[in-house]
Amino acid sequence: MHRPIGVTILAILAGVAGLYEIWRTAFFLGLVKVTVIGQDVTFTNPQWGQALWALLIAAIWFWVAKGLFDMRAYAWSFGIYISMFTLIFSFFAIIGTSTFEEEFPVMFIAVAIFMYLNYPGVRDQFMKHEMSLLTPEQRAAVEKAQAANVAAAQAMSGGTPPAPPAA
């Protein structure tokens, strides 16, 4: 398997984002404190909703990190979704009670992952590897489905469908 170095770096960054969310979970539970502009910030009572949410996002980041490292196609699409979701979540956290300094590390990682995964050719690497994992029967079924989709699209547009592939 040929894994681009950028994907390896992204897998590591996704793992770091997961670790950051674990730290955030500990912060929301009141286990750790943050110093912002010389003042300690900590929760005296656990914030269960935010802690569970951060724990869920951490689990997703770890799952995406494993998928990126293994070059799985689900990790490409889900990496885009979770990076966008993390940016949105961090934005609303900044509007709420969080500071930009607290959210910056995970926002930076999410932007880097989003931009790299949308770079031309990266998706093709994931799809090529995913297709290499299929059996010949599965590959033939995928090719038949693709041919049927092309024929349906041409029929909808008024074009003539291509000849069916020889069995």
Q: For residue 84, what pLDDT is reported?
A: 92
Contact 52, 137 (CB under 8 A): no
Taking only the tens place, the pLDDT of each residue in 75-111 is 999 999 989 988 998 898 888 877 788 788 889 989 9
pTM of the model: 0.75
Q: What is the mean pLDDT of residues 50-68?
A: 92
Taking only the tens place, the pLDDT of each residue in 24-44 is 899 889 888 776 677 777 778
Contact 114, 80 (CB under 8 A): yes
39: DSSP letter: E
Is residue 144 helix, strand or coil?
A: helix
